[in-house]
Structure 1
Amino acid sequence: MIALTLLWRFGLLSLMAVGGANVLLPELQRLVVEQGWMGASQFAELFALAQAAPGPNVLVVSLIGWHVAGVTGALLSMLGMCLPSSVLSFYVSRWWAERHGSELTRLLARALLPLTVGLVGASACLLLQAANRDAAGWALSAAVALIAWRRNWNPLWLLLLGALVGGLGWL
């Protein structure tokens, strides 16, 4: 049954979600496209929809599950994505609190930072490739990245700018 496949796959992925669900985007995209559940551009559209909705970044998982297997798929995908990592986080946080400040915890904290940054960067590259089909899309992405880097604007203004550009049909 496809819903149980979703539960199993997302359960395994949840244990790799160091830094949140967004770091799993390259693997999520590979999984759903390789399985033939949807194309890369449709995945990018579901991700954009999940980001526009209020709530946690993990909402994209429920949208994938819903697309693949309806309401049951959405529920089992979220259960698979949230339960294993929550249980693991509970026990790791207890372990971490007991050993806080030790050489091992300092080493682990230093090791996890570049891992998380690399996973987030890979996610950004994947989404840029899936969403930008022409030079105008790449130019807009570059402009937004430059503005976000150089200015301390609220990201909602950048989302509004993107909605305006899209709404006017310029992209």
Structure 2
Amino acid sequence: MAPGAGSWSVIDTLPWLFLHCLTLSLLAIGGAVATVPELHRHVVIEHGWLSDADFTGSVALAQAAPGPNLLFVAVVGYNVAGLAGALAAMSGMLLPSTALTLVVSRWGSRRRDTRGVRAFVAGLAPVTLGLVLATGWLLAQPTLQQPAAWALVLGTVLLAWRTRLNPLWPIAAGALAGALGWV
């Protein structure tokens, strides 16, 4: 029985979480964070394993922690099905992309000067940008009706674009604004 289609258990959830992360792994152009919108759709909207706020909090917590941006997958998996969920989500996300990266990078490094490889790399830039923007838009949804949140988002974008300021400062400003109840 598919989770979300009535009663389900953690045991029922694990294969679905693993398989979905397995397929998402191949969409992680620009990094795993580009898969946030689709993982959100699957975990929150389709199956109801997490609330919107729990999902957004999971991603935010993982992104604020030191380490690779892929950590959000483990946190979401953990919040869905405990330690086994974290393991299922992370292995699903890591296995295909790691194998594909190894094979393609070796193949591409030998052919990096060919027209086809250069065109492929150039074509991935707008795809990556679009996926990352979709992730940002999704994560901003809970606060879009608040002018202070818009100001915070726009300020963060401008700071990231125009300065070399450490990204932890805007994150800290957002955490402070949330703690003070401004957003």
- 2:90 and 2:35 map into 1 onto residues whose CA distance is 14
The one of 2, 17, 20 equivalent to 2:28 is: 17
- 2:77 and 2:68 map into 1 onto residues whose CA distance is 16
The answer to whether the 8 A contact 1:47-1:60 is kept is: yes
Alignment of 1:16-165 (within 5 A): 16-33=27-44, 34-165=46-177
Q: Secondary structure of 1:38's match?
A: coil
Structural RMSD (CA)? 1.5
Residues 55-111 of structure 1: CA distance to partner in whole angstroms, max 9, x if unpaired?
Answer: 111111111111111111111110000011101111111110221201111111111
Q: Which residue of 1 aligns with 2:180?
A: 168
- 2:177 and 2:127 map into 1 onto residues whose CA distance is 34
Write the letter of the residue equivalent to 1:78: M
The answer to whether the 8 A contact 1:14-1:80 is kept is: yes
Structure 1 residues 145 and 52: CA distance shift in structure 2, 3 A = same
In structure 1, runs of 5+ residues without a counterpart are none
Larger RCO (CA within 8 A; separation ≥ 6): 1
Q: Secondary structure of 2:50's match?
A: coil
- TM score, norm. by length of structure 1: 0.92
Write the letter of the residue equivalent to 1:12: T
**How many correspondences in the alignment?**
171
In structure 2, runs of 5+ residues without a counterpart are 1-11
Structure 1 residues 42 and 131: CA distance shift in structure 2, 3 A = farther
Q: Which residue of 2 aligns with 1:5?
A: 16
Q: After superposing the two structures, state which structure 1 stretch, 135-144 or 111-120, moved more.
A: 135-144
- TM score, norm. by length of structure 2: 0.86
Write the letter of the residue equivalent to 1:136: A
Write the letter of the residue equivalent to 2:49: W
Percent identity reads 46
Write the letter of the residue equivalent to 2:156: V
